[in-house]
A and B are shown apart, each in its own frame.
Chain A
């Protein structure tokens, strides 16, 4: 009877040790989450959308694993820890990708802005040279007002770049370039009208 008691106590202790030693990997969870947060903060929502989605999915899978283990008597957090460690490593790798992508987007936006500016300047210069002859003066004045509108939009491109909205800036710059090009064509048509 005494032996049976001893064995029971020992068995209980062993079970208790197994159960209590396997603590939730809170540190790894925090680290993985912090790594993902860092990706978001670095602009992952814009520059690494797909990768960020995968990181969040992987984190969710790891958390599911942690939850599943936490409900078991014999907890085994090893696989969850590995998954969390992988999330952290992957997140760091993704974060490392962002500056280059951001730089690329910035360069694209700057190039687009320069192209838009060049198109605007071309239209402006052509308009300045356009003869305000019969049939063109009103058109030219209207086009001048149009160019003033474009100039206001160009300022918004710079604002977007300053606010690090590089994709928005590129879209706007491309649209301005298109509009400026259309005005250039109108000026050319007005000039041709005078020559006729």
Chain B
């Protein structure tokens, strides 16, 4: 009787085991939604979900955890009893949410990219203005160096944008903006006189006086406008000829001492005609005049320049080409210099001003930049 019971028990166990094994083998496969959602999570993360849609992504992750729990619970069941319908539903909801977040990321990326692009465009416009200004005034100093660095930074920002590293691109643009500000300060400091309407009015007065004097005496007069890079020849108050000129690195500044590469401003006279000179024909002017000497002494007294600094001299209107860089002289192309040389007698009045135009190009450029 006892043996019989054991036999029956064994048969039941074997049958049960076989049934379990068979059912496990025929258990339905895991729904494809599970792996799809897991891959989607990885894709979302790679796309920057935690940055572009932080709250939504956190919620999505919680939904994913819940769905996984439902799936794991189902997995614990014997194959025959597994029903993935609920799992499928749960994961389908997760996937839909993931797709929504994906579109959200795209939209936010596009918005951010647009914002950064606008920042870059605005900065680049400022850069172009300042770059043109620095070239215009032959700047070779710190501002030019800064501008070159800014250009490199723009290129870096572009690269970062292409790789969707928006925050890094933004940081790079911020650094570029800071360098641009420095460059602008340097340039503005150099050019502030050209934006000062009182200073311009003074230059205009000087120019008008020179023309008036030429009219009264019937003599020739030279008017040099440094910003416009023009030398105008007057005879009896009438404009006879206009020549293009070149200056030095610091040509737009008013000369104070030897070696500053600045071109003097004020009223001068041609004191000697030099032919040949080191630069073709030349007209030597009487720099330093009394006013220059006064200004120089005052600067020395105030300690703006060292005691050993000299005032300099030998400022000429000469040939050699208007595109050459002078140390303070005014350069013309040789052919034009020969023409001017022929027309100018010793004693001709030379008036050198910064500009006579209250709407000069510096003001226009900086106005454009400020816009």
Contact = CB atoms under 8 A, between A and B. Distances in A.
B145 interface: yes
Contacts of A144: 140
A30 interface: no
B323 A153 contact: no
Given A146-B144, A148-B148, A175-B156, A138 B323 contact: yes
A135 B323 contact: yes
A23 interface: no
Nearest to B248: A138
Contacts of A101: none
A53 B139 contact: no
B249 interface: yes
B145 A142 contact: no
A104 interface: no
A113 interface: no
Given A153-B149, A175-B155, A179-B148, A137 B325 contact: yes
A40 interface: no
Given A142-B140, A142-B144, A175 B321 contact: no
Interface in B351-367: none
A134 interface: yes
B336 to A, nearest CB: 13
B52 to A, nearest CB: 16
A136 interface: yes
B334 to A, nearest CB: 9
A75 to B, nearest CB: 15
A148 B144 CA distance: 9
B249 to A, nearest CB: 7
A152 B149 contact: yes
B159 interface: yes
B148 A178 contact: no
Contacts of A128: none
Given A142-B135, A178-B155, A149 B147 contact: yes
Interface residues of B, number: 33
Contacts of B323: 134-138
B46 interface: yes
A175 B360 CA distance: 35
A138 B249 CA distance: 8
Given A142-B144, A145-B144, A171 B46 contact: no
Contacts of A149: 144-149, 151-152
A141 B149 contact: no
B175 to A, nearest CB: 10
Interface in B37-95: 41-42, 45-46, 65, 68-69
Nearest to B38: A57
Contact of A135 (B69, B159, B321): B321
B324 interface: yes
Nearest to A61: B68
Contacts of B333: 134
Contacts of A147: 148
B31 to A, nearest CB: 18
A80 B253 CA distance: 78
B141 interface: yes
B152 A175 contact: yes
Interface in B194-221: none
Contacts of B147: 146, 149
A175 B148 contact: no
B8 to A, nearest CB: 28
Nearest to B45: A53
B138 interface: yes
B152 A150 contact: yes
A50 B281 CA distance: 73
B325 A134 contact: no
B81 to A, nearest CB: 20
A172 B145 contact: no
Given A50-B42, A53-B45, A64-B65, A179 B152 contact: yes
A179 B151 contact: yes
Interface string A18-61: 00000000000000000000000000000000100110010011
Contacts of B160: 171
B349 interface: no
Interface in A124-183: 133-138, 141-142, 144-150, 152-153, 171-172, 174-176, 178-179
Nearest to A150: B148
B102 interface: no
| CB-based closest 9 A-B pairs | A149-B148, A145-B144, A175-B155, A146-B148, A134-B321, A135-B323, A149-B145, A145-B140, A175-B156
Given A137-B324, A138-B135, 12 more contacts: A134-B321, A134-B333, A137-B325, A138-B246, A141-B249, A144-B140, A146-B147, A153-B149, A172-B156, A175-B152, A179-B152, A179-B155
11 contacts: A53-B42, A137-B323, A137-B325, A138-B138, A141-B249, A142-B144, A145-B139, A146-B145, A149-B145, A171-B160, A172-B156
